[in-house]
Structure formats: structure tokens, C-alpha cells
Amino acid sequence: RKEVEQDPGPFNVPEGATVAFNCTYSNSASQSFFWYRQDCRKEPKLLMSVYSSGNEDGRFTAQLNRASQYISLLIRDSKLSDSATYLCVVIDDTGGFKTIFGAGTRLFVKA
């Protein structure tokens, strides 16, 4: 089993739609969680942190479920500019601060 797993997609949605991505992780000791966004041929950029209490930033909401070991990202009112690959990131802080990137979920938002 991979340490971090994401549905590769692609997700094809119309503008204005709501779309949700999930990501599962295998190490229950993982401490920190993030979502990154990567545009085509560009570097990944931090989108938002993920907390147990949930984290909302405008149209984006991230949630963490430690019991089931998954994190989610919800995008409301999708824009064309949301088209990108979304990477789930899990950090194991026990000792080596190991950072594990998921393979990413591709999103295409169409007019």
C-alpha cells in the first residue's frame, strides 16, 4: 500500500460545480497535512493546511479525518483557473520530518 494515495482523475467539471478530492494515508503517526496545487509545467505551490477542525479559505475547504486516515479538499463554485493538479502532502514529524507527496489529482474545469 502506498503511503499516500490519491485518485489520479482526471475530474472534468463545468464552471460553477462543486468538486471534492480525497487522499488516504497509511501512517497513523503522521502529524501535518497540506494541499498543494501544481499548474502544468510549474512548481507545486502550497494551497492550504489541513487541520482536524477543518480549514476554509474562500471557496476551498480542507478536512482531516484522523480515525479513517484521510484528508479531503472541497472546491465550491469552480473557476476555469482552478484547473490544475492537486497534491496531497503528509508530514511525519517523528524524527526525520519525512514529507510524502501524493501523485496528484488532475482537475479540468470547463466553460
Partner 1 sequence: ETGVTQTPRHLVMGMTNKKSLKCEQHLGHNAMYWYKQSAKKPLELMFVYNFKEQTENNSVPSRFSPECPNSSHLFLHLHTLQPEDSALYLCASRGRGRKAKDTQYFGPGTRLTVL
- Give the interface with partner 1 as residue ranges (CB under 8 A): 31-32, 34, 41-46, 48-49, 87, 89, 91, 93, 96-97, 99, 101-104
Q: Which is nearer to partner 1, 17 or 92 (CB)?
A: 92
DSSP assignment of 49-92 equals EE-TT-EEETTEEEEEETTTTEEEEEE-S--GGG-EEEEEEEEE
Smallest gap from Cβ 89 to partner 1, in A, equals 7
1/41 with CB nearer partner 1: 41
Least spacing, CB of residue 87 vs partner 1, in Å: 8
Closest CA to 73 of 82, 42, 31, 81: 82
Q: Read off the C-alpha cell for 28.
A: 497513523
Compute the least distance from the CB of residue 104 to partner 1, in Å. Answer: 6
What's the closest the beta carbon of residue 99 comes to partner 1, in angstroms?
A: 6
CA 22, 23, 24, 28 torsion-angle sign: negative
